[in-house]
Chain A
Amino acid sequence: GENVEQHPSTLSVQEGDSAVIKCTYSDSASNYFPWYKQELGKRPQLIIDIRSNVGEKKDQRIAVTLNKTAKHFSLHITETQPEDSAVYFCAASVGKLIFGQGTELSVKP
């Protein structure tokens, strides 16, 4: 079955810096790659997703890139703000969503 590896497990940046989180997947049939943000004590919520027919997608300060050949995808957050502090999960799907281990992002003011 699908296996998703996510790195790093923790990430600390200064406010205004960029943050990058990387994921790899194993099943070449996976064709949907969402990213979820989970704030402390809250439920995970979708922040951006990308489908396999697209290489890059942007939404304001966040962007995702996908390399199908290498089977990896990344989340990029620019101009980080303290409210970006949260746990971020990547996932890969070929019907059911399989999640990575999560990255705890801390943005220091």
Chain B
Amino acid sequence: DVKVTQSSRYLVKRTGEKVFLECVQDMDHENMFWYRQDPGLGLRLIYFSYDVKMKEKGDIPEGYSVSREKKERFSLILESASTNQTSMYLCASSLAEKNTEAFFGQGTRLTVV
């Protein structure tokens, strides 16, 4: 059974703080993704990675960066958190082959105050 685990379920941070959201998967998936979920906007792709040390910008990368030092771990970094980054963040992973199921983590509800 695939497990995608995000380090925190709920997080409260102050404006200007550097924030790290961690995601770990245990199925040796090559692809990993970070989405943010907002009501009425669906799931929007922030960054993704097809391999270790590789990253690609998604549709809304501004204000975010990522790190993939190991295959199983994909970190999302908010360099200087702002209130408009308050959201639900979802990590996902999938096999390298195209057109395969993406498995999601349980989500991190981030509140920036």
Contacts and interface: CB of A to CB of B under 8 A. Distances in A.
Interface string A36-64: 00000011111001010000000000000
Interface stretch (B11-19, B40-48, B64-72, B76-84): B40-48
Interface in B58-109: 58-59, 90, 92, 98-99, 101-102, 104-107
Interface stretch (A12-20, A67-75, A78-86, A95-103): A95-103
Interface in A1-23: 1, 6, 9
A93 interface: yes
A93 B98 contact: yes
B92 to A, nearest CB: 8
Contacts of B101: 34, 46, 49
Query: Interface range on chain B: under 10, 10 to 19, 20 to 34, or 35 or more?
Result: 20 to 34
B45 A43 contact: no
B99 A31 contact: yes
Contacts of A44: 43, 90, 104
Given A32-B98, A43-B90, A44-B104, A96 B43 contact: no
B16 to A, nearest CB: 30
A89 interface: yes
A101 B33 CA distance: 18
Contact of A98 (B40, B45, B90): B45
Contacts of B42: 6, 89, 99-102
Interface in B24-51: 33, 35, 40-45, 48
Nearest to B48: A96
B89 to A, nearest CB: 12
